[in-house]
Structure formats: structure tokens, C-alpha cells
């Protein structure tokens, strides 16, 4: 009998060809996917070429998504995107997504069924942890890891300790997965899960839709986490069946698996939450943030750019106008979400409300383009980071919140709740 293990330990053991692993152990694993984007691929390709092999290990297991600066913002970013495109063509990469098909990578891969439960995925992007919502072990790495991954299909790991977050009860109406993960990060801090795998369970989690779960797993990295895993249940199966490209494997933690820490959270304690500058852990209830005037609202990103996020924002914006002192930028995370916004009439709501709606891109989330902040400006954003200078000037401020709160704030001109609107 192998030792009792957590989901994270089981997935790592399976991919290392071992019956069991334990925290702290250094292992080398076979990977199901290696992901990189237009910022990280150029360095990964440069490193890959140094290894001295001609071909990637498997052109079907490498995923290249130009999303950060595409459609290209300037000549330099066009050169970088071209490196990605040329490499994809030269290597016959099957999972390459050109402008017009692409989306923000962590929204795109689950939507297309590229990643599934039980997968071991590395991505040269820190929010690769998003796929934990599907029951995968996926984690962000750097470009050198990705370059070596292209060549070998393998990576080294230190088996992390796991932390269990049990969320009991039911989130109140208007409280989303985003509020819950902000609440947790506020509770444990930006390094509260450093080097560790976070695992989320409890009836409040199982009651959430896949879109909401992805917002939670997405932000595991904001607590320093290596992964943010939610065990497979009926919601996961319904999401994956008919969508996953490959057969998937369910893993469940053993009842007697050991955790570094176990947190019991009462869902009733979670309220609409906003993270103040300049750390995602600097959280306060939205109700205590009403005096924060804003210049811009951004609704989108790999955290909150999915269909349900768009619907939540639209429900607030319907029949209303964005405050004339505010720019409200809406970015559906993928081409599919964009199309569905058109089909469901959400696009009319956004346009009627005077929102600027963009084709999928990371753009403003990392201060790239499409809504960069000037000195002294404040934004409320559904993204995941509010570090100094994250969305523009080092003298600007970013407040992180859910789509409904961002939309309500856009109308109010200050941070607030949908209930504050008349």
C-alpha cells in the first residue's frame, strides 16, 4: 500500500512513474502539456535552440498562445509574436492559436478541452495554476523550464506540501468565486501558500460553476501557491465530457492524507471583497471601500473574462450608463466568449452602457496596452494583480474585485456594490 496521498501528490507520482511520493522529494516527471505565450516563448525558443536538438518532443503537446501583446501593440511585440508563429510553423505545433482564434491562454485551454483532469502541465506563465479547477496539477514555470520541456517533455519538481481549504455552507447571492479567493488570500497573505499546493473542497466549492472555480484556482499563485486544485465532481465531468481532447483521470485525496494546514471557512463569512493597492492580500469588504473614486474599470482577463463573468457584468450594466468620469473596458477572454456575448445580446448592453469592448487580449491586465493608467489614476479591475505599476504608471492604483463589483463601480464612479445602484 502506498502512503496516503493528496491529489497533488498522486498526480506527481503518476507522472514520475512512482507508486508514491512525499513532500520535499525532488522528482522528474513526464508532462502532458507545455504552454507558453508571446512574452515567454521567445526566451524559451532561444534556450531550446541551445540544447542542440532539432525537434520538439511532441508537436501535439506544446501549446503556444500569443495573448499578452496581441493584436500586436508595437514593432517589438510584433517581432516577439513572429518568433512564436515561426516556431509553431517550423515545428508543426498543432496547438497554436493565431489572432482571430486566440484568447487569453488560461481561458482558452479549458474551453477548447486541451487540458483535462489528472494532467500534469507546466506553463511559462504564472497563472497556469488555473487548470487546477479541472483537477489537473498545473503550475507556472519560467522560459528555461518551457524550453527544456519543448525538448524533453519533462520537468523537475519538488513535491509540495498541500494545504486544504474546506469551505462550508453556501456563498450568499452576489458573492462569487473571486470574492472567496480574495478572502482566502487576505487571510493567509501573498506568501501564505509559498511552495505549497492549495486544495479547495467543501460544499460551497462543489456548488460553484466551472467558471467560478477557475477564478479561484487562477489566483492560487497570488498566495504563492504552486497549484490550486479542486477535486473532480459532477460539475467537472459535465464540463470535460464531450470537450476534453484526451481521456482524463480523476484523482481524489485519501481521507488520511496529510496536510501542512487545514482551514475551515464558513461561506457565510465571505462578503464582496476588494483588494486595495498594492498587494492582492490587502483585502477589505467592498462596503468599506465606497470612498474610493475610480477613473477606469476593467472587466476581463484569465481570472474573470469567461462567459459567466460577462453575464454578471452585463446584469449590472443593463439599462445603465458608465459614469462619465470613468472608462469601462470589457474584454471577453476568448473569441468564443466574444461571440457568445454577441449572441446573447450582452454586447448591446455593453455598448449601450458606453463600454469599450475589445477583442481578446491580456492588454491592460499587465499594463501592456488597451487601457494603461496615467500617474495618479485609479482602476477597479477583475484581474489578479495590483502590484505597483501593474496596469501602468508606478503612481497609479489598482483595486481587484469581481465583475459585478467592477461593473457597479463603473456606473457609480467609485467602488461599490450592485445594490448601491438605484
Partner 1 sequence: MQFKGTVHRYGRDVDTDVIIPARYLTTSDPAELAKHCLVDLDPTFVDKVKPGDIIVAEENFGCGSSREHAPIAIKAAGIDCVIAKSFARIFYRNSINIGLPIMECPEAVDAIKDGDTVSVDADAGTIVDETTGQTFTAHPFPPFIREIIEAGGLINRTKAKFAEKAQA
- Summarize as ranges the residues that interact with ligand SF4 (CB under 6 A): 68, 104-106, 125, 127, 301-302, 362, 365-366, 383-384
C-alpha of 355 from chain center: 23
Candidates 177, 169, 168, 409; CA nearest to 293 is 409
Distance between CA atoms of 370 and 381, rounded to whole angstroms? 13
Say how many CA atoms lie within 13 Å of 272 toward its Cβ.
Answer: 23
Closest distance between partner 1 and the C-beta of residue 200, in Å? 19
Per CB under 8 A, does 366 bind partner 1? yes
Piece of 210-218, 248-256, 386-394, 401-409 that binds partner 1 (CB under 8 A): 386-394
Number of residues in contact with partner 1, rule: CB under 8 A? 51
Provide the b/e sequence for 331-351 (b: ≥16 CB within 10 Å): bbbbbbbbebbeeeebbebbe
Closest distance between ligand SF4 and the C-beta of residue 104, in Å? 5
First to last CA, the chain: 62
Q: Which partner in ligand SF4, partner 1, none is near 240 (CB below 5 to 8 A by kind)?
A: none
Distance between CA atoms of 61 and 36, rounded to whole angstroms? 12
Distance between CA atoms of 422 and 418, rounded to whole angstroms? 9
Per CB under 8 A, does 124 bind partner 1? yes
Per CB under 8 A, does 195 bind partner 1? yes
Closest distance between partner 1 and the C-beta of residue 267, in Å? 28
Site string for partner 1, 62-81 (x = CB under 8 A): ------xx---xx-xx--x-
ω into 278 cis (within 30 of 0): yes
The residue (of 56 and 407) whose beta carbon lies closer to partner 1 is 56
Q: Which partner in partner 1, ligand SF4, none is near 80 (CB below 5 to 8 A by kind)?
A: partner 1
Q: Which partner in partner 1, ligand SF4, none is near 363 (CB below 5 to 8 A by kind)?
A: none
Biggest CA–CA distance in the chain, Å, is: 65
DSSP 293: B
Site string for partner 1, 336-365 (x = CB under 8 A): ------------------------------
Q: Which partner in partner 1, ligand SF4, none is near 383 (CB below 5 to 8 A by kind)?
A: ligand SF4
Angle, helices 105-112 vs 210-218, to 10°: value is: 140
Distance between CA atoms of 104 and 109, rounded to whole angstroms? 9
Length of the chain: 422
Among 18, 152, 254, 263, the residue binding partner 1 under the rule CB under 8 A is: 152
Closest distance between ligand SF4 and the C-beta of residue 211, in Å? 15
Site for partner 1 in 281-320 (CB under 8 A): none
The residue (of 71 and 118) whose beta carbon lies closer to ligand SF4 is 71
C-alpha of 48 from chain center: 26
Closest distance between partner 1 and the C-beta of residue 8, in Å? 13
Q: Which partner in ligand SF4, partner 1, none is near 195 (CB below 5 to 8 A by kind)?
A: partner 1
Q: Which partner in ligand SF4, partner 1, none is near 104 (CB below 5 to 8 A by kind)?
A: ligand SF4
The residue (of 76 and 94) whose beta carbon lies closer to partner 1 is 76
DSSP 333: S
Candidates 373, 372, 382; CA nearest to 406 is 382
CB 128 within 8 A of CB 122: yes
ω into 71 cis (within 30 of 0): yes
The residue (of 127 and 213) whose beta carbon lies closer to ligand SF4 is 127
Distance between CA atoms of 171 and 165, rounded to whole angstroms? 15
Parallel, antiparallel, or unpaired: how do β-strands 356-357 and 95-96 relate? Answer: unpaired
Among 2, 51, 172, 261, the residue binding partner 1 under the rule CB under 8 A is: 51
**Footprint of partner 1 on this chain (CB under 8 A)?**
26, 39-40, 42-43, 46-47, 50-53, 68-69, 73-74, 76-77, 80, 123-126, 128, 140-145, 147-148, 151-152, 156, 190-191, 194-195, 221, 224, 226, 279, 366-368, 385, 387-390, 394
Amino acid at each position: 500500500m502506498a502512503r496516503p496521498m493528496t491529489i497533488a501528490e498522486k498526480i506527481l507520482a503518476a507522472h514520475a512513474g512512482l507508486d508514491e511520493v512525499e513532500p520535499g522529494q525532488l522528482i522528474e516527471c513526464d508532462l502532458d502539456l507545455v504552454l507558453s505565450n508571446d512574452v515567454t516563448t521567445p526566451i524559451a525558443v532561444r534556450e531550446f535552440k541551445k540544447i542542440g536538438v532539432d525537434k520538439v518532443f511532441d508537436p501535439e503537446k506544446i501549446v503556444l498562445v500569443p495573448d499578452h501583446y496581441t493584436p500586436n501593440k508595437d514593432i517589438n511585440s510584433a517581432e516577439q509574436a513572429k518568433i512564436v508563429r515561426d516556431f509553431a510553423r517550423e515545428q508543426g505545433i498543432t496547438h497554436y492559436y493565431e489572432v482571430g482564434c486566440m484568447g487569453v491562454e488560461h481561458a482558452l485551454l479549458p474551453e477548447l478541452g486541451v487540458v483535462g483532469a489528472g494532467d500534469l502541465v507546466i506553463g511559462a506563465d504564472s497563472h497556469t495554476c488555473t487548470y487546477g479547477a479541472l483537477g489537473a496539477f498545473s503550475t507556472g514555470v519560467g522560459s528555461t523550464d518551457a524550453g527544456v520541456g519543448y525538448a524533453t517533455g519533462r520537468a523537475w519538481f519538488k513535491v509540495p506540501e498541500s494545504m486544504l481549504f474546506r469551505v462550508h455552507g453556501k456563498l450568499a447571492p452576489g458573492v462569487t468565486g473571486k470574492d472567496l479567493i480574495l478572502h482566502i488570500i487576505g487571510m493567509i497573505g501573498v506568501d501564505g501558500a509559498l511552495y505549497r499546493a492549495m486544495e479547495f473542497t467543501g460544499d460551497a466549492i462543489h456548488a460553484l460553476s466551472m467558471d467560478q472555480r477557475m477564478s479561484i484556482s487562477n489566483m492560487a499563485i497570488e498566495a504563492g501557491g504552486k497549484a490550486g486544485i479542486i477535486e473532480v465532481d459532477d460539475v467537472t465531468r459535465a464540463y470535460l465530457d464531450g470537450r476534453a481532447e484526451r481521456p482524463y483521470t480523476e484523482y481524489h485525496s485519501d481521507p488520511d492524507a496529510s496536510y501542512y494546514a487545514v482551514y475551515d471557512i464558513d461561506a457565510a463569512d465571505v462578503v464582496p471583497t476588494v483588494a486595495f493597492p498594492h498587494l492582492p492580500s490587502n483585502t477589505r469588504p467592498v462596503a468599506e471601500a465606497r470612498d474610493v473614486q475610480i477613473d477606469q474599470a476593467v472587466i476581463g482577463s484569465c481570472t474573470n473574462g469567461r462567459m459567466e463573468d460577462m453575464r454578471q457584468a452585463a446584469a449590472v450594466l443593463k439599462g445603465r450608463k458608465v459614469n462619465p468620469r470613468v472608462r469601462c473596458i470589457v474584454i471577453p477572454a476568448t473569441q468564443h466568449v466574444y461571440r457568445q456575448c454577441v449572441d446573447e445580446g450582452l454586447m448591446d448592453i455593453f455598448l449601450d452602457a458606453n463600454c469599450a469592448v475589445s477583442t481578446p487580449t491580456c492588454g491592460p491586465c499587465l499594463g501592456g496596452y488597451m487601457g494603461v493608467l496615467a500617474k495618479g489614476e485609479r482602476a477597479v479591475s477583475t484581474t489578479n494583480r495590483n502590484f505597483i505599476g501593474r496596469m501602468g504608471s508606478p503612481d497609479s492604483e489598482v483595486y481587484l474585485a469581481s465583475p459585478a463589483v467592477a461593473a457597479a463601480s463603473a456606473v457609480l464612479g467609485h467602488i461599490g456594490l450592485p445594490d448601491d445602484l438605484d
